[in-house]
Amino acid sequence: MESVIEPLFNGILAAFEPQNFGMLVLGCIAGLFIGAMPGLGSVNGVAILLPIGFLVPPTAAMIFLAALYYGAMYGGAISSVTLGIPGASTAVATVFDGRPLAQAGKADLALTTAAVASFIGGTISVILFTLFAPPLADFALKFGPEEEFALMILAFATFVGLGGDDIPKTIFSILIGLVLATVGIDIITGKPRFIFFDISGFLHGIKFLVLAIGIYGIGEMLWTLESTGGKVQVHKVDGAFSSLGKNLRRIKEYLGATVLGGFLGYFIGILPAAGATPAALMAYGLTKIFSKDPDSFGKGNIAGVAAPESANNAASTGSMLPMITLGIPGSPTTAILLGGMIIWGLRPGPLLFTEEPEFVWSLIGSLYIANVVTLIFNLSLIPLFVRVLTMPFTILAPVIFVLCVVGGYVPTNTLHDVWLMLLFGFVGYILRKLNYPVAPAVLAIVLGPLTERALRQSLIGAQGDAMIFLERPLSAFFIGCAVLLLLYPAFVVFRRNRAKDKAASEG
Amino acid sequence: MTVRQVEILMAVVLALASLVLMYKSYNELSIGWIPDRGPGSGMWPFWLSTGMFLSCIWTIFRWFRGTTPESRSDEKFMSRSALRLISITMLALIALLGVTHVLGIYIAMFLFMIFYLRVMGGHGWLLTANLSLGIPVYLFLFFEGQLRKTLPKGMNFAEDAFVDLGFYDLLYGGADHWKFAHYLTFFVVGVNALTLAWVFGQWAMNYKARRANNGEEA
């Protein structure tokens, strides 16, 4: 415990250094805005703005992106309440009660509640993060390539077991991400692989950013253009913020739901496949079950706004835990952050704590500060955001397209990558329309090179004996969990069929 | 095309693509164990693409069984208006990249923004002009000025013109040398920022009126 306090204190101080603090404030505001815009969420913001990392040192860049991630979680609630459409998928559950509250003329109450709940959920999760991260990193120091590989398999298995998407399509998405990561020069044998049509642009491989911006920039814009038809419908919302104090005092009513959401969100956020959206939905469901008055949910109960908002913020911090300590991202957004860290020359994983303590603790410290800063900005800027939200999508879309093109070009200075990005965006959009999940592919292209290296190192070390993964207790444990997760959907189907048979025989 | 048709078409195309990947790793790389060297460079991609192929077969199988919602849906894959919107956007993006190869990214994005804001969005000229001029200028100052990262300038003649027009001197010529250009840049950026603020401000002011209009329509 004492060992945590001192570095944490230094980290918080570091977050107040002018450059870091400036980036933090910028990140919070950008995040609030991005989260609030329908069609843009944290993952889109981080993917499109990652090239900012070239401008400032890695610490400041990471603080900026983490603050953006955080801000986007707050921001998602704004459009859920005022427009009735979630600003990001993570804020879906906020619509259930936020919308009725807004229709009843209590949008200000809903927004204040969302902000305060986000703050509490965020704070709970940051404290949990601070307590869990160092011991987990210590533990993970014992991992060899065998455990690393087994852990990656476990991460992918969570998508199949818990992702809730069509299973063959999920598997396809994971595998194509891994295959795309193999394009280029093989690091171990030095052989060029998958140089399609002998185009030399493939020699430097396919950078994860090309796929990430393609899918979350171009593809997402196409998706939003189609679903909104280029317009955003403005709904009637009244928001008077004179009653801020009165609204804040109602915290008693939703404190329990908020704390529940915070803990739940944190632990669900750690899982790579789950993350903020299911965490928010589960928090909503559980709060409703435990509530004394479950019927009032969906009709404007403020606890129904507080629980999911607290959970999605907590999940965003939770998903950073495996990224920092194990090098495995807990969400698509952290997958992109992880890729960014690799570009900046940091190797995410257990060694980060011992090799780059300053970076890690500044990041953790900045999370505490970002939480406070976002709360303040959120409460004071809501009237502005509500107005900006009515901006027609045809203004935002071309600006984002142009930013995507520039962002795709800058890392490698080739237009080849930009064409590829456009292709990925379009194909990703079509696949998404057919219910292929796209997040596993982005996670896989980031983890691909690490997974392959771990696999080949282990196999070389074991003279080609694949049983090595089962002989080492830890990796055997991870593989066992992965197998259970892979079998879980089959178990669900089996149970459902049996229930159906039973019902049929009784009926 | 219905969702059902696109679903099977996509699954078959993806299965064929997986076969190509399998063939490529089998044919060009070694997929087996190389004695004293470890697994060959093709092993990992080969088994991955095999998995891709199998998952596509699984999807095709489920399509015939009618297990997935997509395989039962006879709805149109895209409505006519969505098809129009998406294809125009894609063509505009392809044109953006095509023009970038020839004339450079600044001119390309200028044209792209004009097209998108004015023709597609039907926004006023004031907003269109400011955004389509402002974005390239800001990106130039940010990437080439601050980050010293060059963006594509197109073919040789376009790049020469870019240099001749003195844009680089703006950044590298020194403040004394090009004081005038510096002031001009600040002036343009200032006017641009103020105009945009004014346009958006107007629009924020009209918020109540528009909201009321929408309320009536709804």
pLDDT, averaged in runs of 10, over chain B (218 residues): 89 93 85 76 89 93 86 85 90 94 92 90 83 84 76 86 76 62 72 77 63 47
> Cβ atoms within 10 A of the Cβ of A135, count?
12
Examine residue A189 and state whether it is found in any structural domain, yes or no: no
Query: What's residue B179's pLDDT?
Result: 62
Percent of chain A with pLDDT strictly greater than 70: 93
Q: Which of A233, A394, A409 sits opposite B152 (nearest CB)?
A: A409
More confident residue, B201 or A72: A72
Mutation pick from A50, A179, A233, A393 vs chain B, by most beta carbons of B within 10 Å, is: A179
Residue of B nearest to A385 (CA): B204
Examine residue A147 and state whether it is found in any structural domain, yes or no: yes
Nearest-neighbour CA in chain A from B133: distance (Å): 12
Examine residue A106 and state whether it is found in any structural domain, yes or no: yes
At B39, which helix (H) or strand (E)? strand B38-39
Would the CB atoms of A222 and B151 count as touching at under 8 Å? no
Average pLDDT, chain B: 82
- Report yes or no: A160 and A170 within 8 Å, Cβ to Cβ: yes
Distance CA A349, CA A363 (A): 15
Q: Which of A55, A172, A225 sits opposite B55 (nearest CB)?
A: A172
Examine residue A27 and state whether it is found in any structural domain, yes or no: yes
Which residues contact residue A82 at a Cβ distance below 8 angstroms, ignoring those fewer than 6 apart? A102, A107, A111, A235, A237, A239, A386, A389
Q: Which of B89, B96, B121 sits opposite A222 (nearest CB)?
A: B89
Would the CB atoms of A395 and B139 count as touching at under 8 Å? no
- Report yes or no: A442 and A208 within 8 Å, Cβ to Cβ: yes
Please give the structure tokens belonging to residue A13.
């101080």
Nearest-neighbour CA in chain B from A407: distance (Å): 10
- Distinct helix (H) and strand (E) counts, chain A: 23, 2
pLDDT in tens, A162-197: 777 788 999 999 999 999 998 988 877 778 888 888
Across the range A130-136, mean pLDDT stands at: 87
Would the CB atoms of B127 and A175 count as touching at under 8 Å? no
Would the CB atoms of A182 and B56 count as touching at under 8 Å? no
Examine residue A473 and state whether it is found in any structural domain, yes or no: yes
Region of poorest pLDDT, from A48-62, A271-285, B179-193? B179-193
Query: What's residue B97's pLDDT?
Result: 94
- Structural domains of chain A, count: 1
Query: What's residue A421's pLDDT?
Result: 92
Distance CA A252, CA A135 (A): 34
Strand partners, B2: B76
Would the CB atoms of B215 and A236 count as touching at under 8 Å? yes
pLDDT in tens, A201-220: 888 888 888 888 888 888 88
Query: Cα A435 vs. chain centroid, distance in angstroms?
Result: 19
Region of poorest pLDDT, from A3-7, A20-24, A439-443, B151-155? A3-7
Query: What's residue A413's pLDDT?
Result: 83
- Report yes or no: A154 and A162 within 8 Å, Cβ to Cβ: no
Would the CB atoms of A172 and B33 count as touching at under 8 Å? no
Q: Which of B45, B97, B127 sits opposite A179 (nearest CB)?
A: B45
Residue A234 has pLDDT above 50, yes or no: no
Angular region, A151: left φ>0, alpha ψ -120 to 50, beta rest: alpha
Examine residue A243 and state whether it is found in any structural domain, yes or no: yes
Q: Which of B44, B70, B152 sits opposite A452 (nearest CB)?
A: B44
Query: What's residue A55's pLDDT?
Result: 73
Which of A120, A217, A243 has its CA nearest to residue A420? A217
Examine residue A29 and state whether it is found in any structural domain, yes or no: yes
Would the CB atoms of B44 and A182 count as touching at under 8 Å? yes
Average pLDDT, chain A: 83
More confident residue, A346 or A391: A346
Range of the domain at A346: 2-155+234-397+465-506
Examine residue A45 and state whether it is found in any structural domain, yes or no: yes
Residue A486 in contact with partner chain B when CB distance is under 8 A: no
Query: What's residue A274's pLDDT?
Result: 67
